[in-house]
A and B are shown apart, each in its own frame.
Chain A
Amino acid sequence: MSFQEKNIAVSLANFTLILGFYSIRVFQMIQGGSFNTTNVFRLWGIIIALAIIITIFATILTHILSAIIHAIKTGEEKPDIEDIEDERDRLIDLRGTKVTYFISSIGGFLSMLTFVRGQPPLVMFTLLIFSGVVAQVVGDVSRLYLYRRGF
């Protein structure tokens, strides 16, 4: 597994956990009758902060762990891990981004449809962030699939 693949796998794990956390919290709010503007916007803040902080720390941790594992395997003092990004990596990333944008566009459209159906803005905002996280997860899955397939 290349360094880029490891990074994507870590990102996928992060966003899957965030998606799980978000879905459970929203479900709990609906069940408990606390599905209101204050709680939903607080959850929005938590999700965005979590996504940024976890992604930064996970990337650093992946880099360090990759170097340690590589050093143990090869016995090199200064391990030369393959972290360069070439044209294939960039193309795979672009395709993944295309998938992410496509899914989030559908999510955005569905969110707007909730207005048409007379739902409160809260539902729209909840769906919007849900589709954003799902889009990130699907984008990462498509990137991993392209790496595994070769291109």
Chain B
Amino acid sequence: MVKRRINNNIRKLRFFHNEMTQQELAEKVGVTRQTIIAMEQGKYSPSLELAFRIALAFDVPLDEVFSYDPEADSN
């Protein structure tokens, strides 16, 4: 199985932002709810622009939302 290289805290951040729903976040960043679900499940890595929009929606720096796992690259 391929290891995920880009991890995210979207689910956690939604919870700490008044339990924001996936639909609300999707509307804020201009994507479909299915894309938010795919990102939360680690199946889809967003573009840099979308990543920034998500960070802006939560009002946190980018590295608080996404992190890169170099270990997964070497495995």
Interface of A toward B, CB cutoff 8 Å: 2, 4, 82, 84, 86-89, 147, 149-151
Extra pairs beyond A82-B33, A89-B35, A151-B44 (16, CB < 8 Å): A82-B34, A84-B30, A84-B31, A86-B30, A86-B32, A87-B46, A87-B50, A88-B31, A88-B32, A88-B35, A88-B44, A147-B34, A150-B37, A150-B43, A150-B44, A151-B38
Closest to B29 in A: A86
- Are B32 and A2 touching (Cβ within 8 A)? yes
- Are B34 and A88 touching (Cβ within 8 A)? yes
Tell me, in angstroms, the Cα distance from A147 to B41 when the chains sit together: 13
* In the A-B complex, the 3 residue pairs with the closest CB atoms: A150-B43, A86-B31, A151-B44
Closest to A150 in B: B43
- Are A149 and B30 touching (Cβ within 8 A)? no
- Are B32 and A149 touching (Cβ within 8 A)? no
Known A87-B50, A88-B38; judge A149-B31 contact (CB<8 A). no
